[in-house]
């Protein structure tokens, strides 16, 4: 595909339309009680505000494809996603039935327009069919003031083209950096041994409390005990009364994400809900391996009623691979992670280069 040169969004003529001008209905899903459905291959869209709304993959009918859904409940209420794969949905979500057939890229443009207004919805004012259909959205128009669907489609295609080029280049650079995959023993064929956390890491240290009311606009990530987005909950410009770390793990102290460990190669501000783990001899591959070990061993051990504290960490042990001499096998850990990354980047590249 050749790159298209389209008119800048700011130079394009826009006009207000009611969403109902393009929508026949927003039909709620009918998949019930996700906890009782067997695992399968069909994506089930629910009230999630991330991961394209996918809640689980279940053994149920594939009812829709190439369609837009909008969350009607939860923290993601009012959030739209477009799905170019087969899916079904539960009653916390609605599928948009358009009046005329729209291409997947035109739907993606509409998705962006709808999501510009999602912050108006909340638990106390949930999105529903009536409220969404009377929502006013801005769309680019032609000289006759009709929606310029061709422009919308080409605009999204151009973005996809550029992003694909960037990511192909990124994958190739990463594969050059990682080198060739090396054959190593599987995890269940090597020796493992317990070590105190303090044998592997320096003395773990908690972050410092910082409340959202004190945030200053900026671009430095704040890491807390969130279970997604590498624990990042905000970006701020605070410089004083903070604890800042870099090139280490953050580990959630308690709550539903207790024990979740994320690697941060960048500088970040740590809240008091996480503890930072740093080892002078460790590189990013070691951190990624050890982060998984920590999560697997500590997630079920700590929670709201039993937080990870400094005294407990002094006694805490983790089980890791060892050499014949009984020392931590950092070479194995590094190659194990490299092999995974090589396979994943190769898969991504193969997928991207199919078109």
Please report, for the chain, the start and end positions of each structural domain, with discontinuous segments joined by +. Answer: 11-153, 187-330
Mean pLDDT of the region 265-292? 95
Look up the CATH number of domain 11-153.
3.90.220.20
Environment class of 339 (CB within 10 Å of its CB; exposed 0-12, middle 13-18, buried 19+): middle
Check if the beta carbon of residue 201 is closer than 8 Å to that of residue 277.
yes
Quickly state the pLDDT bin for 254 (edges 50, 70, 90).
Answer: confident
Residue 300: what pLDDT?
84
Least Cα distance to 55 among 72, 42, 68, 65 occurs for 42
187-330, CATH topology level: Adenine-n6-DNA-methyltransferase TaqI; Chain A, domain 2 (3.90.220)
pTM equals 0.80
Q: Which residues contact 70 (CB under 8 A, 6 or more apart)?
A: 26, 78, 79, 80, 81, 93, 94, 96, 114, 127, 132
pLDDT at 321 exceeding the cut of 90: yes
Quickly state the pLDDT bin for 141 (edges 50, 70, 90).
Answer: very high
Residue 47: what pLDDT?
85
Domains 11-153 and 187-330 share a fold: yes
Residue 36: what pLDDT?
81
């Amino acid at each position: 595909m050749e790159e298209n040169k389209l008119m800048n969004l700011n130079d394009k003529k826009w006009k207000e339309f009611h969403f109902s001008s393009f929508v026949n209905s927003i039909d709620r899903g009918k998949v019930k009680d996700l906890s009782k459905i067997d695992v399968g291959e069909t994506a089930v869209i629910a009230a999630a505000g991330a991961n394209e709304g996918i809640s689980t993959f279940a053994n149920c009918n594939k009812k829709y494809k190439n369609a837009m859904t909008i969350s009607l409940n939860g923290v993601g209420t009012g959030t739209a996603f477009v799905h170019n794969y087969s899916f079904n949905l539960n009653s916390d979500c609605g599928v948009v039935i358009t009046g005329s057939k729209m291409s997947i890229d035109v739907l993606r443009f509409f998705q962006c327009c709808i999501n510009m207004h999602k912050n108006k919805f909340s638990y106390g004012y949930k999105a529903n069919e009536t409220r969404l259909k009377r929502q006013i959205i801005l769309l680019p128009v032609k000289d006759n003031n009709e929606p310029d669907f061709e422009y919308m489609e080409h605009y999204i295609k151009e973005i996809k083209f550029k992003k694909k080029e960037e990511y192909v280049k990124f994958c190739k650079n990463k594969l050059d950096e990682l080198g060739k995959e090396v054959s190593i023993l599987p995890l269940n064929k090597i020796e493992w041994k317990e070590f105190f956390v303090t044998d592997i890491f320096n003395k773990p240290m908690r972050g410092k409390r910082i409340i959202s009311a004190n945030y200053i606009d900026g671009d430095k990530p704040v890491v807390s005990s969130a279970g997604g987005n590498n624990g990042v909950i905000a970006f701020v410009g605070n410089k004083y009364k903070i604890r800042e770390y870099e090139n280490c793990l953050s580990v959630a102290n308690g709550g539903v994400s207790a024990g979740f460990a994320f690697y941060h190669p960048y500088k970040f501000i740590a809240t008091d809900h996480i503890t930072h783990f740093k080892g002078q001899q460790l590189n990013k591959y070691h951190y990624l391996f050890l982060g998984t070990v920590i999560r697997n061993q500590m997630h079920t051990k700590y929670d709201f009623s039993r937080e990870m504290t400094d005294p407990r960490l002094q006694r805490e042990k983790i089980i890791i691979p060892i050499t014949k001499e009984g020392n931590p096998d950092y070479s194995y850990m590094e190659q194990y992670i490299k092999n995974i990354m090589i396979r994943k980047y190769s898969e991504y590249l193969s997928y991207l280069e199919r078109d």
